Chains A and B, each alone.
Chain A
Amino acid sequence: MKTYTFHVSGTHCPSCKIFIEDTLNEQIGIQQTRVDLKNETVSLETNLDESKHKLAEILTEKIKHNGYSLSVEKKAKEKKDDGVIWQALPIGLAFLALFFIVQKSGVLNFGLGGTVTPVTSFIIGLVASVSSCLAVVGGLVLSLSATVSQDKISDVKPMMLFHSGRLISFAVLGGVLGAIGSAIGISFIATAILGVIASVVMIVLGLNLVGVFEKNMIALPSGVFSFLRKVEHKTIAPFLVGVGTFFLPCGFTQAMQVAALSSGSFLSGFLIMTAFALGTLPMLALLSFGSASFAQSKHAPLFFKSAGVLVIGLGAFALLAGLAGLGFINPLFSI
């Protein structure tokens, strides 16, 4: 049994540690893999007779699809990445400014009179998906999708699960609202608290995308990230997050819930909420599958960092607004 230490490159996130350790320990003859993120080294025990150089090659083969590589000598750090944040910052902020300008301009405030039919609720869904609700629901979708794409290249399964979770929960819970005709999930305090939690998650994921955690400037317990990793990769978790979006604070969603409530039957509530969820789908699908396709392009680092800046901005906005809604702070803005 021999102990080797290699230099590792490509470890951009705390969850990389877990991934590399799990993958290498699965190899025959490799034990006790330890990743040191700070020094970017991997130490492991092996009973294989390969030379150190050969071993580095063999093991790199196993993890290079995920963007990591092992080497005996420390590689000169790639300089290219450093300037990206300075391009990403204005790009992310420009999108943020665009979002607020659209809100403030009032183009989204056209009226839809009369009773709510599935057709009007579909249109309301389309409007809602670019409205202020985008700050919470869209920001959450973007931050989760970008994080998933960054960790695991081109895996659209969690996103499919998220969207089907969202559609199914809106359909079923909408039907239930119509059938029982009493309030579920329309507690102000509960939705506001969920909104605050969602915005904190967005800020943390945004900081991670920007790369604040990369250099260990802020140390988060790796437990948080192994939890997030589970959320990303387990089948049930993205589905549940999708279901949870039914309860996220969004004026449009709540108005549709009331409409479903007063519609009087399972079928009409079901149709109203399904149509609404379908209306929000194009924008949200664009955000999540857009992330996946950007992740494969050569602009991936720029995309992740811009998305991070955008998500931090939206998260901060949603957090301050949510706290104001709960009455903890005075409202700071009115868009």
Chain B
Amino acid sequence: MQKNTIISIIISVALIGGTFYFISDRPVSSDREVVQLQNVEIRDGIQYVTIIAKGGYSPRITEIKGGLPTKLIVKTDGTYDCSASLIVRSVGFQKILQPTGEEIIDLGIPKSGDKVQGICGMGMYNFQIKVS
């Protein structure tokens, strides 16, 4: 009995630890650079940030410049999961996005040091835009 209890506790701790490591919210540092080049674009003095919403948001973290009028474009493509119900609290945006399409959200002129966070209705997916 004693031995079984110990084995059980070891397996349980390993499972909990492994699962937490797996799902915990940690920044993906390696491909941030690449992603930043692809999804931020400045056209006619307006900064556009593109986020793809499907089974979560990508990229998870984007860095943008402050002091420019900024618009967030959320693209959906056959998206029916939670990421379609988007909340961007700092600009008071709440909407269930069309399964396929683009939603343009005005972020105003973000100041340097700001953080814009988007989260899905159930709270299991999120993304961040950092203003540098």
Report whether chain A binds chain B: yes
Residues of chain A with a CB closer than 8 A to B18's CB: 97
Select the residue from A100, A133, A250, A255 with max chain B CB neighbours within 10 A.
A255
The reply to whether B15 and A94 contact each other, CB–CB distance below 8 Å, is yes
Q: Is B94 an interface residue (CB 8 A)?
A: yes
**Which of B23, B99, B122 contacts A250, CB < 8 Å?**
B122
Contact B85 A254 (CB under 8 A): yes
The reply to whether A325 and B8 contact each other, CB–CB distance below 8 Å, is no
Q: Does B55 contact A (CB under 8 A)?
A: yes
Q: How far is the CA of A325 from the CA of B123 in the complex (A)?
A: 4
Check B15–A251 contact: CB distance below 8 A: no
Among B16, B81, B89, which residue has its beta carbon within 8 angstroms of that of A252?
B81
Q: How far is the CB of B131 from chain A (nearest CB, A)?
A: 18
B5 contacts chain A at the CB level, 8 A cutoff: yes
Picked from A90, A114, A324, the residue with its CB within 8 Å of the CB of B15 is A90
Q: Which of B1, B22, B23, B100 has the most CB of A within 10 A?
A: B23
A93 pairs with B16, CB closer than 8 A:
yes
CA distance A155 to B20 in the complex (A): 37
- A331 contacts B54, CB within 8 Å? no
Q: Is A249 an interface residue (CB 8 A)?
A: yes
Option from A108, A188, A335 in Cβ contact (under 8 Å) with B124: A335
- Residue of B89, B99, B121 near A116 (CB, 8 A) is B99
A residues in contact with B98, CB < 8 Å: 258
Chain A residues contacting B80 (CB-CB under 8 Å) are 112, 124, 127-128, 251-252, 255-256
Complex-state Cα separation, A188 to B94, whole angstroms: 8
User: Closest approach, in angstroms, between the C-beta of B124 and any C-beta of chain A?
Assistant: 5
Q: Among B8, B60, B79, B125, which residue has its beta carbon within 8 angstroms of that of A87?
A: B8
| Contact of A113 with B78 in the complex, beta carbons under 8 Å | yes
Asked if residues B22 and A86 are in contact (CB atoms below 8 Å), the reply is no
Say whether A168 faces chain B, with CB atoms less than 8 Å apart: no
Contact between B78 and A192, CB atoms less than 8 A apart: no
In the complex, chain A residues whose CB is within 8 Å of the CB of B119: 324-325, 331
Q: Is the CB of A321 within 8 A of B123?
A: yes
Q: Are A251 and B81 in contact (CB under 8 A)?
A: yes
Contacts of B94 in A (CB 8 A): 188
Interface residues on A, range: 35 or more
Is B124's CB under 8 angstroms from A83's CB?
no
**Contacts between the two chains (Cβ within 8 Å), count:** 151
Out of A89, A97, A186, A325, which one reaches B19, CB within 8 Å?
A97
| Complex: A112 Cα to B80 Cα, angstroms | 8
Decide if B124 touches A333 in the complex (CB within 8 Å).
Answer: yes
**B123→A322 contact, CB < 8 A:** yes
Q: Measured between C-beta atoms, what is the minimum distance from B62 to chain A in Å?
A: 14
Taking a contact as CB atoms closer than 8 A, the residue among B19, B87, B117 that contacts A100 in the complex is B19
Q: Which of A97, A251, A320 contacts B121 (CB 8 A)?
A: A251
Asked if B66 lies at the interface with its beta carbon under 8 angstroms from chain A, I say no
Min distance, Cβ A87 to any Cβ of chain B, angstroms: 7
Q: Which residues A80-138 have CB closer than 8 A to chain B? A: 82-83, 86-87, 89-90, 93-94, 96-97, 100-101, 103-104, 106, 108-114, 116, 124, 127-128, 131-133, 135-136
Q: Knowing that A83-B1, A192-B122 are A-B contacts, what are 10 other residue pairs whose CB atoms are under 8 Å apart, sorted by A's residue number?
A: A82-B1, A89-B8, A93-B11, A113-B77, A255-B99, A258-B96, A324-B126, A331-B117, A333-B23, A334-B124
What are 19 inter-chain pairs, A to B, with CB distance below 8 A?
A: A86-B9, A89-B9, A96-B19, A109-B55, A112-B80, A113-B78, A116-B99, A192-B122, A251-B81, A251-B120, A254-B85, A254-B121, A256-B80, A324-B123, A325-B122, A331-B126, A332-B24, A332-B25, A334-B60
Please provide the 4 A-B residue pairs with the shortest distance between their CB atoms, ordered closest to farther: A111-B78, A251-B82, A109-B55, A325-B123
